Amino acid sequence: MADSLTQLETYLYEHIPLSVALGVKAVEASCHQVVLTAPMTPNINHKQTAFGGSLHAVATLACWSLMYLNLKEFPHFTDIVISKSEVNYICPVTTDFTVECSIENQSDWLKVESILYKKGIGRLRLNAKIYQDGKLAVDYWGEFVAIRRKK
């Protein structure tokens, strides 16, 4: 597990520089679940709460990372893009925060993989959650697209 955490962080830091600025750290990194944390200090706003853009960005990174980990072993190189997202800010986040994203139903991933093989493109809607004091603070949904590159 530690090796996959380091590999994910290294990849994010090298290819998505915003992850460094946000202070993102990987806590869990598997094909089933990604958990990222971020400190409050670089993400604070004028109200002394976490900036909504930071919360949205780290949630996007968690979902993107889950797609990335599932596609690492895919035999064809793929690009991952986000096609749309929506976020509900339920209550303020006032401390360092943790974002959790998981694939609830493994058959959803198998469908993505099958369509990716057949058509060269696969879509998956992922959910990420941020909790504050045990209560849901941010509920994020994003649609991620994997596109097989032509050689």
Report the first-to-last Cα separation within the chain, whole angstroms.
Answer: 32
Location of structure tokens 């096609």: 83
List pLDDT tens digits, range 9-62.
Answer: 999 999 999 999 999 999 999 999 999 999 999 999 999 999 999 999 999 999
Tell me the two tokens of residue 120. Answer: 């060269």
Tell me the two tokens of residue 38. Answer: 């971020």
Question: How many domains does the chain fold into?
Answer: 1
Range(s) of the domain holding residue 51 = 2-148
**Contact call for residues 47 and 82 (beta carbons, < 8 A):** no
Query: With 60 as the cut, is the pLDDT of residue 1 above it?
Result: no
- Note the pTM of the prediction, 2 decimals: 0.94
Report the CATH number that the domain containing residue 117 is assigned in CATH. Answer: 3.10.129.10
List pLDDT tens digits, range 95-151.
Answer: 999 999 999 888 888 899 899 989 999 999 999 999 988 899 999 999 999 998 876
Amino acid, res. 86: E
Closest Cα partner for 64 from 149, 140, 150, 142? Answer: 142
**Contact call for residues 80 and 144 (beta carbons, < 8 A):** yes
